[in-house]
């Protein structure tokens, strides 16, 4: 690949299936749009043994599972994967609790306390991203930063506002 050729292992769009996910409050929609923007802006995303990217990702929600539908630039579906969210339940619960603590701390805690809570939040985020990579192994290839951004989007889908 020459320097002028765009990277193929990347996402160029992410859409949410409104029929299964539904629209959220304005705050929830804002968080979802930020998560999608961040994910598209910087990612390393591919399919094993394929070189037909860049890709478009459509996410839908079915019971406690995320469905990933991946299309190429010609808008042909090239892969579909179902990801159970059950292994993420504890991490999501803990992540929301620590985020709540963080927002409370911003109002009254010392800088050192806020930084300690934020370190815990980042550690949970890293743990969830590593779990996501593990659960997608052999199906989707992404670096840890991309997995973090996908987890951010998952949290935005479950955030109550």
Q: How many domains does the chain have?
A: 1
Compute the CA torsion angle 98, 103, 108, 113 (nearest 10 deg). 40
**How confident is the model over 106-137, as pLDDT tens digits?**
899 999 999 999 999 999 999 999 999 999 99
Residue 5 clears pLDDT 60, i.e. is over it: no
Domain of residue 55, residue span: 11-158
Residue 78 lies in a domain: yes
Residue 4 lies in a domain: no
- d(Cα 51, Cα 101) in Å, to the nearest integer? 43
Residue 97 lies in a domain: yes
Sign, CA dihedral 19-87-117-38, equals: negative
Residue 120 lies in a domain: yes
Residue 1 lies in a domain: no
Residue 82 lies in a domain: yes
Residue 6 lies in a domain: no
Residue 3 lies in a domain: no
Tell me the pLDDT band of 100, cut-offs 50, 70 and 90: confident
Least confident of 20-34, 64-78, 112-126: 20-34
């Amino acid at each position: 690949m020459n320097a002028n050729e765009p990277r193929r292992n990347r996402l160029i769009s992410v859409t949410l299936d409104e029929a299964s996910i539904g629209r959220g409050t304005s705050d929830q929609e804002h968080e979802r749009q930020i998560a999608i923007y961040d994910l598209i802006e910087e990612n390393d995303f591919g399919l094993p043994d394929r070189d037909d990217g860049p890709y478009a990702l459509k996410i839908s929600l079915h019971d406690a599972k995320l469905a990933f539908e991946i299309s190429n630039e010609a808008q042909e579906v090239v892969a579909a994967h179902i990801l159970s969210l059950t292994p993420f339940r504890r991490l999501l619960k803990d992540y929301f609790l620590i985020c709540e603590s963080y927002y409370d701390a911003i109002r009254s805690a010392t800088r050192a306390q806020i930084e300690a809570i934020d370190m815990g939040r980042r550690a949970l985020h890293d743990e969830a991203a590593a779990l996501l990579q593990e659960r997608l192994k052999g199906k989707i290839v992404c670096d840890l930063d991309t997995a973090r951004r996908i987890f951010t989007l998952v949290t935005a889908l479950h955030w109550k506002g």
